[in-house]
Amino acid sequence: MALLTNAIKGTEDTLPKDSYKLRFVEQTIAEIAGNYGFKEIRTPVFEHTELFNRSVGETTDVVQKEMYTFEDKGGRSITLRPEGTAGVVRAFLEHGLFNEPLPQKVFYQSSCYRYEKPQAGRLREFHQFGVECFGSESPAADAEIISLANEIFGFLGIEGLELQINSIGCPVCRKGFQKALVEYFEKSKKDLCETCHSRLDKNPMRIFDCKSSVCNKISKTAPTIQEFLCDECQEHFDLLREYLDEMNIEYKVNPKIVRGLDYYTKTVFEFIATNIGAQGTVCGGGRYDGLCEELGGNHCPALGFGLGMERLMLVLETQKIELPVEMPCNLYIVSAGKTANLRAAKIATNLREEGIFALFDISNRSVKAQMKYADKIGAEFVIVIGDNELESGKVELKNMETGKIIEMELETFSDEFSSVAIFESASKLAESTDGIDLKAFFGGNL
């Protein structure tokens, strides 16, 4: 019988064998962000379309080609979020977080949606970890969020990432730069792609972000923003570099980085992997000092970054970085007969309340089938409860790796704080064995 449907192209299921790895990485990143003072924020998966048109920019590929936009039953234009920053800024303004002590630091872990050609590291539904910092104009804030991203990669053991930075100036110094770009690209206008024709009139900096190999070749000898930075932007960029030098963070200045969204000002940066194919940007961000005003608020300097989780996991896999293994079942309770089954359910409940990963049979399997199942799932220890055990009040705790057995009182498994007694018995079984993690036996709670 054929399946009714498959997953939509450009989306992926995260199966149990992989989800624990993703959860470990997400929790690790959140903890590191917490050390920098960032607190979690959650925003809706869809917003009014005008939010992204204004913030992301009508000349970007995201708005022109990639957004999932639809009309709801009330006739309103709604868009699934293509990135995380716009919704966070909207929430920051709507809920008056600018009245709280500044800087306000938030992080999010969100799904995002873009209609792109799926390939390794690029999906139509993808996931981002992002941070946003509101209320600081200092390049020290820029250096701090770059340091945060750098620490995440270092903690996970990732190598070979290159940090590239640039300043794209402010609206004042960009006027001269854009004028020079128009004059330069007009000479090759006939060779530019159709999309870049419109960019040339509206926002010529976007041509640097074009995926066309022809446009990229033309862009190589184009003027750079460094020739046009005003004194304030140049001083900001120079001081950022001093901070990065002081923090021992290696970087490369790339004058062609503009990022793919229109809201950026001054600092932009990317962490680029060289070993995952064309989609090498794992993390990117920068400063967007004018976005709060663009969305109807008062001036509030801000900056942040987005880190693609799929690309991050791809880098970890490519570099063969081992993540902690999923905690196995600590104790499987094999039972036979109604009374024994009920006792197994009670024991499992007691142990779970004490933080022990305990399972019992819920499929009416035979004792032999239960033992096979316990072995297949990698249970560390097993006890068997049947009529004899109920009558004698004693059970055997078996170490599934070594086969060693120790006798215990059945009532021990029903007593409060029974984990202490079980731990003592498990310790005796493991004394002469290698590789038994007794701390893991209790979920790391001992």
Going from N- to C-terminal start, the domains of the chain cover 16-170+247-318, 171-229, 331-441
Instruction: Tell me whether residue 28 is exposed, middle or buried, using C-beta atoms within 10 angstroms of its C-beta: 0 to 12, 13 to 18, 19 or more.
Output: middle
- Reading the block at residue 290, the tokens are 């004018």
Q: Judge whether residue 167 has pLDDT over 90.
A: yes
In this prediction, residue 257 carries a pLDDT of 85
Nearest 5°: phi and psi at 69?
A: -120, 140
- Topology of the domain covering 16-170+247-318: BirA Bifunctional Protein; domain 2 (3.30.930)
Mean pLDDT score, 402-419: 78
In this prediction, residue 445 carries a pLDDT of 43
Q: Judge whether residue 423 has pLDDT over 80.
A: no
Using DSSP's 3-state secondary structure scheme, residue 299 falls into coil
Question: Do the strands 381-385 and 331-335 form a parallel or antiparallel pair, or are they unpaired?
Answer: parallel
In this prediction, residue 180 carries a pLDDT of 87
Q: Judge whether residue 22 has pLDDT over 70.
A: yes
Per-residue exposure over 287-308, b if at least 16 CB sit within 10 Å of its own CB, e if not: bbbbbbeebebeebbbbbbbbb
Q: Write out the DSSP string of 306-335.
A: EEEHHHHHHHHHHTTPPPPPPPPPSEEEEE
Instruction: Look at 125-129, 220-224, 235-239 and tell me which has the smallest mean pLDDT.
Output: 220-224
Contact criterion met (CB below 8 Å) for 266 and 156: no
In this prediction, residue 440 carries a pLDDT of 47
Cα–Cα distances in Å, from 36 out to 54, 90, 105, 132, 239? 30, 23, 9, 12, 21
The 10s digit of each residue's pLDDT in 247-265 is: 999 999 998 887 756 778 9
Domain spanning 331-441: which CATH class is it, in words? alpha beta
Quickly state the pLDDT bin for 87 (edges 50, 70, 90).
very high
In this prediction, residue 59 carries a pLDDT of 60
Mean pLDDT score, 388-414: 90
The 10s digit of each residue's pLDDT in 102-116 is: 999 999 999 999 998
- Most confidently predicted of 178-182, 274-278, 369-373: 369-373
In this prediction, residue 438 carries a pLDDT of 42
Contact criterion met (CB below 8 Å) for 305 and 285: yes
Q: Judge whether residue 3 has pLDDT over 60.
A: yes
Q: Which residues pair with 228 in a beta bridge?
A: none
The 10s digit of each residue's pLDDT in 334-360 is: 999 999 999 999 999 988 988 889 999
- Reading the block at residue 438, the tokens are 């007794």
- Reading the block at residue 297, the tokens are 């608020």
- In angstroms, the CA 103 to CA 303 distance is 11
The 10s digit of each residue's pLDDT in 285-323 is: 999 999 999 999 999 999 999 999 999 999 999 999 999
Mean pLDDT score, 141-163: 96
Quickly state the pLDDT bin for 420 (edges 50, 70, 90).
low
Contact criterion met (CB below 8 Å) for 300 and 134: yes
In this prediction, residue 214 carries a pLDDT of 87
Residue 245 or 53, more confident: 245
**For residue 378, which amino acid is it?**
G
The torsion region of residue 157 among left (phi > 0), alpha (psi -120 to 50) and beta comes to left
Using DSSP's 3-state secondary structure scheme, residue 101 falls into coil
**For residue 395, which amino acid is it?**
V
Mean pLDDT score, 120-139: 93
Number of Cβ within a 10 Å radius of residue 151 = 17
